[in-house]
Amino acid sequence: MKTRRIMAAIAVVLLSVASVYAKDLRTAVFKVVQMECQNCEKKVVNNMKFEKGLKKVNTDLESQTVTITYDAEKTTVEKLKDGFKKFKYEAEFLNESKEAKTK
């Protein structure tokens, strides 16, 4: 009986440790039609990089998409879209994928 309780305690500790290290990172793709040239790309990157919870931002001029990797515990797709609005850009959410683990 006592061993079982200790085991349970260890499991709880392990779980909480795991939640600290295994961050919920997600990668969302946004369509940004206002992004038409390299200056626009720079504008997007320079403004978005200060968004809370943002890990990575990549732009693609050809497809007019912005790919953002973010920490789902700190921000959301909606908040990121609001981030675009701050510099008068409209971002349309296309899709999202989960990143397995922090590299």
Give least dist CB 81 to Cu ion, A.
Answer: 20
Give least dist CB 12 to Cu ion, A.
Answer: 52
Sites for Cu ion among residues 10-69 (CB under 5 A): 36-37, 39-40
**With respect to Cu ion, which residue has the nearer C-beta, 43 or 81?**
43
| CA-closest candidate to residue 45, choices 101, 78, 102, 84 | 84
**With respect to Cu ion, which residue has the nearer C-beta, 3 or 39?**
39
Instruction: Give bridge partners of residue 30 from the DSSP assignment.
Output: 66, 93
Indicate the SS3 state at residue 40. Answer: helix
Could you count the other beta carbons within 10 Å of the beta carbon of residue 75?
Answer: 19
Indicate the SS3 state at residue 7. Answer: helix
Q: Does position 73 bind Cu ion by CB under 5 A?
A: no
**With respect to Cu ion, which residue has the nearer C-beta, 37 or 100?**
37
**With respect to Cu ion, which residue has the nearer C-beta, 25 or 44?**
44
Backbone phi and psi for residue 15, each to the nearest 5 degrees, phi listed first: -65, -45
Contacting residues toward Cu ion, per CB under 5 A? 36-37, 39-40
